[in-house]
């Protein structure tokens, strides 16, 4: 399959925005094969649930049982030409993906459900968008409710390590309270060309501000991440009393011009919602806050994600590598000329 490298202008856009959309990056037949495989799996799960007389199968649990190591998913990255495009900006000899995250969002997400920021989904602007960085502790128990405070037992469980997502609050010996990789790469399986269909939302340009913030945390003596300088982990004033700050308020405040404000005075930065057709891909810098949004339309949203790490990262720091936070382009060899050019501009 013919491949190409990113153009200089595409690299400049990736530098400025922290993400880059690649139109028609994956061939249609590969996308259709992956979507069919996912739908066949979901249909089988529904059949099993109905046989067990479970009238309303839990769809998210069904999605969680999809085998992300199946070649029908990994080939979207390994054999489509997408890996070559990612290699052109990260450099080195990137290994093939051995697994993928199958990320589906369904219609009917309840407006009253509580998100990790501690607010009702229906009260959260921009289709319930709650941006986050990956690699952050998200509580070892279900998100606390608004209706009542946690019991002592619930509170004790909430603060345990690791969290539901497998992350810990801190990583001894690293100076970090966060894990990190290099790039998030997403491939759309469903049509997301309008808003309100579960679009991936990205905080445009925020990676540059996050880099500045991590350098400031480092200068203060660290640690980097939540519970470090300037970044309290929990927003106790949130409606549920335990809202999680998945990026610092200093960054949130930098977007106040386009933000919406909830009645309690909380700022909600406006994300850029990705409008993707099936087969479109997006490369996202690790330091760019991101999140799915709510599906208000009739169809589910399906994305496939790959988390890419530079092959040059030291083996003993594969999970938590602070130099890639204080120098956000350190692991992007193919961007070095662009970074120098943009720094002079």
Rounded Cα gap, residues 21 and 162, in angstroms: 34
Query: Per-residue pLDDT tens for 250-267?
Result: 999 999 999 999 999 999
Confidence (pLDDT) at 48? 55
pTM for this model (two decimals): 0.93
Is there a contact between 195 and 125 (Cβ–Cβ < 8 Å)?
Answer: no
Find the mean pLDDT for residues 297-318: 96
Confidence (pLDDT) at 119? 97
Q: Which of 131, 132, 247, 128 is nearest to 198 (CA)?
A: 128
Confidence (pLDDT) at 41? 86
Q: Give the CATH architecture of domain 8-344.
A: Sandwich (2.60)
Rounded Cα gap, residues 135 and 102, in angstroms: 17
Confidence (pLDDT) at 258? 93
- H/E run at residue 200: strand 200-202
Rounded Cα gap, residues 98 and 190, in angstroms: 22
Is there a contact between 235 and 115 (Cβ–Cβ < 8 Å)?
Answer: no
Find the mean pLDDT for residues 191-202: 97
Strand order in the sheet with 19-22: 19-22, 281-285, 183-188, 301-308, 101-105
CA max distance for the chain? 65
Find the mean pLDDT for residues 188-201: 97
Q: Which of 11-15, 58-62, 315-319, 336-340 has the lowest mean pLDDT?
A: 58-62
Q: At what angle do helices 71-78 and 82-90 cross, to 10 degrees?
A: 50
Rounded Cα gap, residues 114 and 136, in angstroms: 18
Rounded Cα gap, residues 46 and 44, in angstroms: 5
| Burial category of 84 from C-beta neighbours within 10 Å (exposed 0-12, middle 13-18, buried 19 and up) | middle
Radius of gyration of the chain (CA): 20
Give the confidence band of 4 by pLDDT, cuts at 50, 70, 90: confident
Find the mean pLDDT for residues 213-228: 98
- Asked whether the predicted pLDDT for residue 57 surpasses 70, the reply is no
- Give Cβ neighbours of residue 342 (< 8 Å, ≥ 6 apart): 12, 15, 16
Give the confidence band of 63 by pLDDT, cuts at 50, 70, 90: low
Query: Per-residue pLDDT tens for 265-295?
Result: 999 999 999 999 999 999 999 999 999 999 9
Query: CA geometry: angle at 157 spanning 154 and 159, to 5°?
Result: 115
- Asked whether the predicted pLDDT for residue 56 surpasses 80, the reply is no
Confidence (pLDDT) at 109? 60
Query: Per-residue pLDDT tens for 90-122?
Result: 999 999 999 999 999 999 766 789 999 999 999
Two tokens, residue 170: 């801190």
- With a pLDDT cut of 90, the percent of the chain lying above it is 87
Two tokens, residue 318: 């594969």
Q: Which of 263, 283, 266 is nearest to 274 (CA)?
A: 283
Is there a contact between 280 and 188 (Cβ–Cβ < 8 Å)?
Answer: yes
Query: Per-residue pLDDT tens for 141-158?
Result: 999 999 999 999 999 999
Rounded Cα gap, residues 83 and 3, in angstroms: 9
Rounded Cα gap, residues 288 and 18, in angstroms: 6
Is there a contact between 40 and 123 (Cβ–Cβ < 8 Å)?
Answer: no
- Asked whether the predicted pLDDT for residue 75 surpasses 90, the reply is yes
CA torsion 324-214-170-64 (nearest 10°) is: -60
Residue with tokens 């619930």, as numbered in its chain: 154
- Asked whether the predicted pLDDT for residue 202 surpasses 90, the reply is yes
Rounded Cα gap, residues 341 and 91, in angstroms: 18
- Report the chain's mean pLDDT, rounded to a whole number: 93
- Asked whether the predicted pLDDT for residue 51 surpasses 80, the reply is no
- With a pLDDT cut of 70, the percent of the chain lying above it is 92
């Amino acid at each position: 399959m013919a491949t190409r490298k990113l153009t200089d202008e595409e690299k400049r856009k990736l530098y400025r925005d922290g993400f880059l959309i690649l139109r028609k990056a994956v061939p249609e037949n590969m996308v259709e094969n992956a979507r069919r495989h996912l739908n066949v799996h979901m249909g089988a799960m529904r059949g099993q649930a109905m046989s067990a007389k479970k009238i309303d199968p839990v769809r998210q649990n069904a999605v969680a049982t999809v085998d992300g190591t199946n070649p029908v998913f990994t080939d979207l990255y390994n054999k489509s030409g997408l890996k070559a495009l990612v290699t052109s900006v990260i450099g080195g000899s990137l290994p093939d993906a051995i697994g993928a995250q199958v990320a589906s969002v369904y219609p009917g997400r309840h407006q009253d459900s509580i998100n990790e920021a501690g607010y009702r989904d229906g009260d959260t602007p921009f289709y319930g968008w709650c941006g986050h960085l990956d690699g952050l502790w998200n509580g070892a128990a279900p998100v606390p409710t608004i209706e009542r405070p946690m019991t002592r037992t619930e509170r004790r469980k909430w603060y345990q390590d690791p969290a539901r997502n497998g992350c810990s609050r801190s990583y001894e010996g690293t100076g970090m309270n966060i894990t990190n990789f290099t790039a998030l790469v997403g491939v759309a399986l469903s049509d997301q060309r309008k808003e309100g269909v579960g679009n991936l939302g990205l905080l445009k340009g925020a990676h540059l501000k996050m880099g500045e913030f991590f350098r400031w945390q480092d200068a203060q003596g660290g640690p980097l991440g939540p519970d470090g300088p300037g970044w309290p982990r929990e927003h106790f004033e949130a409606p549920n009393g335990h809202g999680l700050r998945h990026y610092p308020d200093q960054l949130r405040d930098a977007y106040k011009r386009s933000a919406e404000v909830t009645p309690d005075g909380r700022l909600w930065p406006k994300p850029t919602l990705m409008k993707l057709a099936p087969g479109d891909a997006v490369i996202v810098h690790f330091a760019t806050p991101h999140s799915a949004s709510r599906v208000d339309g009739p169809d589910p949203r399906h994305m496939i994600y790959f988390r890419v790490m530079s092959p040059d990262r030291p083996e003993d720091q594969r999970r938590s590598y602070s130099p890639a936070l204080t120098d956000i382009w350190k692991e992007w060899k193919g961007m070095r000329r662009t970074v120098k050019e943009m720094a002079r501009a």
